[in-house]
Amino acid sequence: MAIFTNQATLTYNNNIINSNITTGEIREVLTITKNAVLGTYGRDDDVTYVINIRNTGTLPFTGLTLTDDLGAYTAETLTLVPLTYADGSLNYFVNGVSQPSPAVTAGPPLTVSGITVPAGGTATILYTARANGFAPLDTEGSITNSVTLSGGGILPITDSETVNAAAEADLTISKSLCPAVVTENGQITYTFVIQNTGNTPVVATDNAVINDTFDPALTDLTVTFNGTVWSAPANYTYSPATGVFATNPGQITVPAATFSRNETTGEVIIQPGISTLTVTGTI
């Protein structure tokens, strides 16, 4: 519902007389809601949105335009857009029946034009946007994006949806060997580097475990984790006969990543949390 007022003036012989103020009401028959299928996102995740437009009136609305700001926000003096529309992802339904896709401009902002909402009916628009390099990733991070429906003689109507950065670890592991060429009965070191680009640490209760089978099997093992010497069986198990190596649950921990921004572009910079396991032995 929107209230409007109006007042007239009468001028004569340098006199100005104001009329009474009239008040009217525009009863809106179109409503819009925007919802995300999932309430969280991670780095490079797709977020699917559902837009429902309902017409409770007795006349159809045609030629409507939907505009989505794709979560645009301000950081320092920069305007950043954390979502990128996924080309070709839009689906359009009228009263639940699939329709040819209306005209889409990826933007930002994303613009969908040529929408029709029948009398007493609904139009539904689904599309996907990807969290890009400007999407906040820390535990307090979120994306709020708004849609506005306009055109067709209506007053613009809006709705918004907020999705939060998922609180989770995101691990990768790499393994290297030094030296790559070794003589018989020589000593080698395997180095395992675990990186966490997520916003929460891996703690003992997460029970992270590294398993490996050394071939050829090693003897006289020396194992360190983040520079601290480990011992068996307190921290790991190993069979010289089979070469099977495994850390014990709860021994591997990895700090969370830290996040900053490129001062020029505003892009999020991820500094991974890192833990290192080394295993040295004789072939």
pLDDT of residue 150: 97
199 and 154 share a domain?
no
pLDDT of residue 203: 98
Q: Which residues contact 97 (CB under 8 A, 6 or more apart)?
A: none
Chain centroid to Cα 156, Å, comes to 28
196 and 130 share a domain?
no
The CATH number assigned to the domain holding 137 equals: 2.60.40.740
pLDDT of residue 3: 62
With respect to residue 12, please indicate whether it lies within any of the assigned structural domains. Answer: no
pLDDT of residue 8: 77
33 and 139 share a domain?
yes
Chain centroid to Cα 119, Å, comes to 36
Q: Which of 117, 133, 165 is the last residue of a domain?
A: 165
Task: Please give the tally of structural domains in the chain.
Answer: 2
Q: Is the peptide bond before 109 cis (omega within 30 degrees of 0)?
A: yes
Q: Which of 117, 134, 165 is the last residue of a domain?
A: 165
156 and 177 share a domain?
no
pLDDT of residue 20: 76
41 and 153 share a domain?
yes
Beta strands in 45-121 (DSSP E): 46-55, 61-68, 73-75, 78-80, 83-85, 91-94, 97-99, 103-105, 110-117
153 and 30 share a domain?
yes
pLDDT of residue 4: 58
With respect to residue 134, please indicate whether it lies within any of the assigned structural domains. Answer: yes
138 and 31 share a domain?
yes
With respect to residue 61, please indicate whether it lies within any of the assigned structural domains. Answer: yes
86 and 154 share a domain?
yes
pTM: 0.83
With respect to residue 253, please indicate whether it lies within any of the assigned structural domains. Answer: yes
pLDDT by position in tens, the chain (length 283) = 456 578 778 788 788 888 778 775 555 589 999 999 999 999 999 999 999 999 999 999 999 999 999 999 999 889 999 999 999 999 999 999 999 999 999 999 999 999 999 999 999 999 999 999 999 999 999 999 999 999 998 999 999 999 999 999 999 999 999 999 988 889 999 999 999 999 999 999 999 999 999 999 999 999 999 999 999 999 999 999 999 999 999 999 999 999 999 999 999 999 999 999 999 999 9
CB 129 within 8 A of CB 103: no
- What are the Cα distances from residue 207, in Å, to 152, 204, 250, 275? 58, 6, 4, 15
The CATH number assigned to the domain holding 255 equals: 2.60.40
Range of the domain at 33: 25-165
- What are the Cα distances from residue 12, in Å, to 9, 16, 17, 134? 10, 7, 9, 61
106-139, pLDDT tens digit by residue?
999 999 999 999 999 999 999 999 999 999 999 9
pLDDT of residue 27: 54
With respect to residue 201, please indicate whether it lies within any of the assigned structural domains. Answer: yes
176 and 144 share a domain?
no
197 and 103 share a domain?
no
- Identify the three-state secondary structure at position 49: strand
